Amino acid sequence: MPLASDRASLATFPIDWGGLAPLRLKSRAVAEGVYAGMHRSIRKGAGVEFGGQRPYVPGDDLRFFDRRALLRHDRLMVREFETETDRALWLCVDATASMSYRGQRAPGAKLAYAALIAAAMARVALATGDPVGLAWLGGAGTHGLPAMAGREAFERIVGALEATSAAQDWSGDAGAIERALAPVAKKARRGAVVLLISDLLDLAHESGTDRALSAFTPLSTGGRTLIALQVLDPSEAELDFEGNVRLRALEGDAVVEADAGAVRAQYKARLAALTEGWSRALASRGGRLLRATSADPPTDVVRSLVQAIAEVRR
């Protein structure tokens, strides 16, 4: 539970980049050398999904000759299919108030780290020609982007990430997550990879984890793949405070005064239960949950995400 001096619902927190900026250079360095074939791309050709028809061109494979079109319309047509070789990557970045926290051991705030991971993943995807979209959970100054590819896509994604501030308290808003993810549910095509980057701590404070999971897991319908990356500050992951502490939540009204050493085991058990619930729910739908702290080497995290996506695609 990060410290806060004001009610998060009224506060805006510019990204504390620390040593994680400049984002363009850092993300390019992280992406460099990471295996780029993280997921498949939609291309026309032989495959399992019918993709429409087009007029026959000499040299086309006659196995896909549409005889019914010839009989009905007296036209030579070829059936097209979508191969399983190229899918869009949708980045869903949590920018609610709790993501502004930065402890003494972290190089930057959780939101800065999430932005670095998101930008690096976009760089990896775009390098293979895969389109990348961007959606936000909370935040101020946010700008969502449709899935796009090409040279300008990376600059637009980085610009949107840099312009955002952490803001909004979602602990009491039952429909906030559903509204935020609605554009992804509408626009993400079959086979898309949806990557949520969040601390997962305060998305559904009043009713536990179910609210956030009930909004995120339905995105797996239509052949989409769900991956969640939980990003915690090292102080949150370990509760490494000493002695008596007074902690105020950045989202919600919770204030806790306790001896850190006395409650550390209970805190870690509850945190483990939270992540285990996410892990089971995603695994049951063919997805994956990964964990990281904002002090972990970002290249290792991106490589783990790439590997996880490749594994669930097998």
pLDDT tens-digit series, residues 113-129: 999 999 999 999 998 88
Span 226-233, average pLDDT: 97
Interval 160-209: pLDDT, tens: 999 999 999 887 777 888 999 999 999 998 889 999 999 998 765 444 44
Q: What does each C-alpha distance from 281 to 32, 214, 305 come to in angstroms?
A: 32, 10, 18
47: pLDDT strictly greater than 60: no
Measured between its terminal Cα atoms, the distance across the chain in Å is 38
Q: Could you give the percent of the chain with pLDDT greater than 70?
A: 80
Residues whose CB falls within 8 Å of the CB of residue 223, separated by 6 or more in sequence, listed in order: 190, 191
**Exposed, middle or buried: residue 6 (CB in 10 Å: 0-12, 13-18, 19+)?**
exposed
pLDDT the model gives residue 42 = 43
Query: Which pLDDT band holds residue 62 (cuts at 50, 70, 90)?
Result: low
Q: Which residue has the tokens 């991956």?
A: 227
Low-confidence winner among 117-126, 132-141, 260-269 (lowest mean pLDDT): 260-269
Q: CA–CA distance from 312 to each of 38, 118, 196, 283, 290 (Å)?
A: 10, 19, 16, 9, 13
Q: Show the tokens assigned to 230.
A: 């939980």
Strand partners, 80: 52
3-class DSSP assignment, residue 53: strand
Backbone phi, psi, residue 207, to 5°? -120, 20
Of residues 246 and 195, the one with the higher pLDDT is 195
pLDDT for 284 equals: 94
**Residue 111 has what pLDDT?**
98
Predicted local confidence at residue 50, as pLDDT: 52
What is the pTM assigned to this prediction?
Answer: 0.81
Q: Measured between alpha carbons, how far is 151 from 281 in angstroms, rounded to an integer? A: 36
- Report the percent of the chain where pLDDT is more than 90: 55
Per-residue pLDDT at 169: 86
Burial of 246 (0-12, 13-18, 19+ CB in 10 A): exposed
